[in-house]
Amino acid sequence: MDTSSISAANRKAWDASADHHRDTAEWMELVSRIADPAFSCLDPTATEILSTIGVAGKAVAHVCCNNGAELISIKNLGAKECVGFDISLAFLTQGRELAALAGQDVEFVESDANALPQAYFGRFDLVVITIGTLGWFPSLEPFFASVRSLLRSGGTIFIYEMHPVLEMFEPDAPDLARIAHDYFRVEPYPITKAITYDGSQHTGSTAYWHFHTLSEIIGGLLDHGFRLERFREYAHNIAETDWQPFEGKGIPMSYAIVASAPA
């Protein structure tokens, strides 16, 4: 499949899964809490890193922002301007609903991350990439080039993602220690069930996930002129609940990168 076909398939799958996300206890809790000015769905690691970077008074973009809960959390930390970009109109609709409930001025833009609107180029001090983003793209080269265009001179990118090593395993395998996938796999991995975070099972439209090594991720940033400021690997899970059984098994489950664009 070519890149445009994969993008269209992934958009369709995400739109189809939106109602499954809304039909959960987590959504109801989110709706009940979002109006609190101190609301945050960010975990301690993301909160600490964003505090170190400093978001107060800054313009922040969240690429592949899903329903915007993380972006609203960042706005509550004092960001001046927050814009979320996502391919799924259904999830952006949820984001606008949550922002209205929160009483926060957060903008949501429907866009493929590889073709972000030029009107937003050079407008942001910080670009945030979180949990389960990079795998939706066959190549990181156009993705990082597109994301780089959003940043002002000297701006910062913060990536907080599930670890590529984790994807060598299958969470529903009888033997969790069995290696199921080549770390260097290049062919897309088809996802045929609906995309959910709570472990619930629903039929869905086929989507395509791609494996990216750490060297591809860090090297891609360097190739686009970013300077690495921080890189940490963690043992805690930030992905779907399916991956919880791997905690404490001695493998890296997540990582964080902070890098700065050329001044």
Is residue 159 within 8 Å of residue 254, measured between CB atoms? Answer: no
Q: What is the mean pLDDT of residues 224-229?
A: 97
Task: Identify the pLDDT of residue 62.
Answer: 98
Q: What is the mean pLDDT of residues 80-92?
A: 97
Which residues lie below 8 Å from residue 44, measured CB to CB, with a gap of 6+? none
Listed by start position, the domains of the chain span 3-260
- 22 vs 82, more confident: 82
CA atoms within 13 A on the CB side of 181: 21
d(CA 109, CA 87): 8
Quote the DSSP letter at residue 134: G
Four-way CATH pick for 3-260: 3.40.710.10, 3.40.50.300, 3.40.50.150, 1.20.120.850: 3.40.50.150
Task: Identify the pLDDT of residue 199.
Answer: 63
User: Does residue 240 surpass a pLDDT of 90?
Assistant: no
Q: What pLDDT band is residue 96 in, cutting at 50, 70 and 90?
A: very high
In a 3-state reduction of DSSP, which class is residue 250? coil
For every residue of 154-209, which 3-state class applies, written as one string? EEEEEEEEECHHHHHCCCCCCCCCCCCCCCCCCCCEEEEECCCCCCCCCEEEEEEE
Of 91, 18, 77, 6, the C-alpha closest to 48 is: 77
Q: What pLDDT band is residue 257 in, cutting at 50, 70 and 90?
A: very high
Q: What single letter denotes the amino acid at residue 122? A: G
User: Does residue 205 surpass a pLDDT of 90?
Assistant: no
Ranking 20-24, 176-180, 183-187 by mean pLDDT, the lowest is: 20-24
d(CA 231, CA 260): 12
Lookup: tokens for 61: 């973009």
Task: Identify the pLDDT of residue 1.
Answer: 77
Task: Identify the pLDDT of residue 36.
Answer: 98
Q: What pLDDT band is residue 198 in, cutting at 50, 70 and 90?
A: low
Distances (CA, A) of 187 to 33, 135, 137, 178, 208: 41, 12, 12, 20, 10
